[in-house]
């Protein structure tokens, strides 16, 4: 997309923006800080910038608390602090702006009491385009004393005088522009009707997987499921490649693979409590398992726990996810192509039993797949 910008291919740029936003939003969210900075490197990417800013305005900590915050381009920071719907207290916005400004001046101490006049002038020059969007007149008197006053030398004298006038005499007329207060949104309770967390499994399936993770004799109920299933990746028409898997799942831990077998009711999957690492090869694990789930004409679920921990997980960029030395559950590249995945159950397999009720090699293709990261609910 950036290359298309360089060559002034405007129609291609718009197409790629739309494609990313509409069909790859989960990938964008997983790499949010990087996507945010990249989108502001070229002013042609207005749609992507707006998509990012709409998210940050509602959930500002996603960006402001990130390690990459101080490396934000100036235009990105300004685009946020000028918004009337940025859901953050004004004092916090001020503190983040100061933090960003200090980071742009290497060697500048974070303690303003040690600064020289030149230090204040340097910070003032850095923040000259940001300061007009701070709502000073929406701060409390304590905010003015505690967090603004130590840096008042970076403000224009007439503005600081007006801030002090409002501080001492709130009803006194001033000449500075008073920006409107930011609109604080009222949180809404979630509706009973929500978008399903998965397009392949349901809440009962998730509860059963959770019981296997905790090695429970009886399955959790939907209400008592202690795990949250966070979607990392969903295979789409263009997303059935090993690259799509490794781009989002490399180094991810506690993941559940869900596969919908093409042309059948079968749901297959595997749980990897360790991490995926495309350069690692074999990964030893005592608690991994593979499974098939009750669904449609499939009358009962099958759980198959690892019996050879040293060959539990095969993690390589040359293929998709693989469980077991015999390919107990294996996804090659281009998962949706005919017979490009298989389950094998023979004497040298690494898991207890076949999850397709067959012996030997059983090939299949995928109609849809999902990768979830599971974690304990708060």
**Phi, psi (rounded to 5 degrees) for 90:** -60, -35
pLDDT at 186: 63
pLDDT at 247: 85
Tokens 């402001």 belong to 64
* Residue 231 near residue 372 (C-beta atoms within 8 A): yes
Q: Where are the domains of the chain?
A: 2-168, 203-376
* E strand segments, the chain: 227-234, 253-261, 267-275, 281-283, 289-292, 302-305, 313-315, 322-323, 329-331, 341-345, 360-364, 366-376
How many of the other CB atoms lie within 10 Å of CB of 115?
18
pLDDT at 347: 63
pLDDT at 267: 93
The model carries a pTM of: 0.52
Query: 180, 178, 145, 142: which is closest to 162 by C-alpha?
Result: 178
Query: 195, 194, 197: which is closest to 370 by C-alpha?
Result: 197
Structure tokens at 304: 């198959």
**Phi, psi (rounded to 5 degrees) for 164:** -65, -40
pLDDT at 238: 52
**Maximum distance among all alpha carbons in the chain?**
88
pLDDT at 348: 66
pLDDT averaged per 10 residues in sequence order, the chain, 378 residues: 89 90 82 85 88 91 87 93 93 96 94 95 97 93 93 95 87 87 70 70 93 93 91 73 85 93 90 92 93 86 93 88 86 74 77 80 86 90
């Amino acid at each position: 997309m950036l290359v298309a910008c360089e060559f002034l291919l405007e129609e291609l740029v718009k197409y790629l923006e739309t494609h990313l936003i509409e069909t790859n939003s989960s990938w964008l969210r997983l790499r949010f800080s990087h996507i945010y900075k990249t989108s502001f490197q070229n002013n042609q990417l207005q749609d992507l910038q707006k998509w990012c800013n709409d998210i940050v305005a509602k959930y500002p900590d996603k960006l402001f608390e990130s390690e990459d915050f101080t490396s934000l381009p100036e235009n990105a920071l300004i685009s946020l602090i000028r918004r009337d719907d940025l859901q953050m207290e004004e004092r916090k916005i001020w503190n983040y702006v100061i933090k960003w400004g200090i980071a742009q001046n290497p060697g500048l101490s974070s303690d303003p009491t040690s600064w020289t006049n030149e230090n204040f002038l340097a910070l003032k020059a850095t923040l000259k385009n940001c300061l007009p969007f701070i709502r000073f007149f929406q701060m409390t008197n304590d905010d003015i004393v505690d967090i603004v006053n130590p840096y008042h030398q970076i403000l224009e004298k007439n503005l600081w005088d007006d801030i002090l006038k409002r501080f001492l005499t709130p009803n006194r007329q001033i000449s500075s522009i008073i920006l409107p207060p930011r609109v604080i949104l009222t949180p809404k309770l979630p509706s009973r009707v929500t978008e399903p967390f998965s397009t392949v499994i349901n809440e009962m399936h998730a509860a059963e997987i959770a019981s296997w993770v905790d090695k429970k004799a009886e399955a959790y109920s939907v209400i008592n499921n202690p795990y949250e299933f966070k979607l990392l990746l969903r295979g789409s028409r263009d997303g059935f490649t090993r690259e799509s898997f490794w781009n989002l799942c490399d180094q991810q831990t506690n993941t559940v693979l869900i596969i919908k077998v093409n042309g059948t009711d079968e749901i297959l999957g595997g749980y990897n409590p360790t991490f995926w690492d495309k350069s690692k090869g074999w990964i030893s694990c005592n608690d991994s398992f593979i499974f098939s789930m009750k669904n449609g004409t499939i009358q009962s679920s099958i759980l198959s726990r690892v019996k050879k921990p040293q060959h539990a997980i095969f993690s390589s960029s040359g293929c998709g996810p693989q469980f077991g030395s015999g390919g107990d559950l294996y996804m090659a590249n281009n998962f949706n192509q005919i017979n490009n995945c298989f389950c094998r159950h023979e004497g040298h397999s690494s898991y207890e039993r076949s999850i397709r009720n067959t012996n030997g090699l059983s090939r299949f293709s995928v109609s849809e797949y999902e990768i979830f990261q599971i974690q304990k609910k708060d």
